Amino acid sequence: MNQWKNFSKGFIKENPVFVLLLGMCPTLGVTSSAINGLGMGLATTFVLLMSNIVVSLVKNLIPEKVRIPSFIVIIAAFVTIVQLAMQAYLPSLYKSLGLFIPLIVVNCIVLGRAEAFASKNTLVSSAIDGVGIGLGFSFALVLLGSIREILGSGKIFNITLYSENYVTLLFVLAPGAFIVLGYLIAIINRIKKN
């Protein structure tokens, strides 16, 4: 398979957020600011890469009937590693994302890629798939987070753009996440149609 295609499909064609609509819980939950989206996206990318690598390595050693619990244990181990490392070296990011990091375990993108891709493909393809999908996810979260942060708190990456008196608070709250996501999906579908 063409590895570049394998890598780039995560951005638009198979973007986990805009096209596959997987992993909606962290998507809607953490994207109240761009930096949170970026942190969550990169943490998920790391977990995706590592779990894809390990799953593709052990795919032939794991009996069919226990593959899901085995994959989940592998994923959970990497998520806990991310959580501990972030707590130790990036405490301020951990403070704002703390609650959502353990939830990467149940993010269906990670298990989805392990099950649908890594358990059927070679090590190299799986690693590239993990990074591609992970960066596509990060890209979607940053885009969503930026739009919500600009509209909802008048800032981007914590740099003030305009006064807080004119912001629409709705956008940093849950309904804002749904509205922005809906419009983004509509725009992407329109672009894809052409």
Partner 1 sequence: MAKRESTFINMVVTLFLVTGIAAAGLGFVYDLTKGPIEVARLKAQSEAIKQVLPEFDTLGTSFKTLAEEGGDSLEFFPAYKNGRLVGTAVQTYTKKGFNGFISIMAGIDEAGNFSGYSVLEHEETPGLGSKMDVWFNNPEKPKQFVIGKNPNNTNFTVSKDGGDIDAITASTISSRAFLDALTRAYSSYEKNSDATSGLTGN
Contact set with partner 1 (CB under 8 A): 32-33, 58-66, 69-70, 73-74, 76-77, 80-81, 84-85, 87-89, 91, 95, 99, 152-153, 167, 169, 172-173
Nearer Cβ to partner 1 (173/187): 173
User: For the chain, how far is it from start to end, CA to CA, in angstroms?
Assistant: 26
Nearer Cβ to partner 1 (18/94): 94
d(CA 118, CA 122): 7
Q: Are the C-beta atoms of residues 130 and 107 closer than 8 Å to each other?
A: no
Listed in order, strand segments (DSSP E) in 8-83 are: none
Residue 86: CA count within 13 A, CB half-sphere: 24
Nearer Cβ to partner 1 (144/167): 167
- State the minimum distance, in angstroms, from the CB of residue 43 to partner 1: 15
- State the minimum distance, in angstroms, from the CB of residue 23 to partner 1: 20
- State the minimum distance, in angstroms, from the CB of residue 26 to partner 1: 15
Nearer Cβ to partner 1 (146/153): 153
Q: Are the C-beta atoms of residues 133 and 6 closer than 8 Å to each other?
A: no
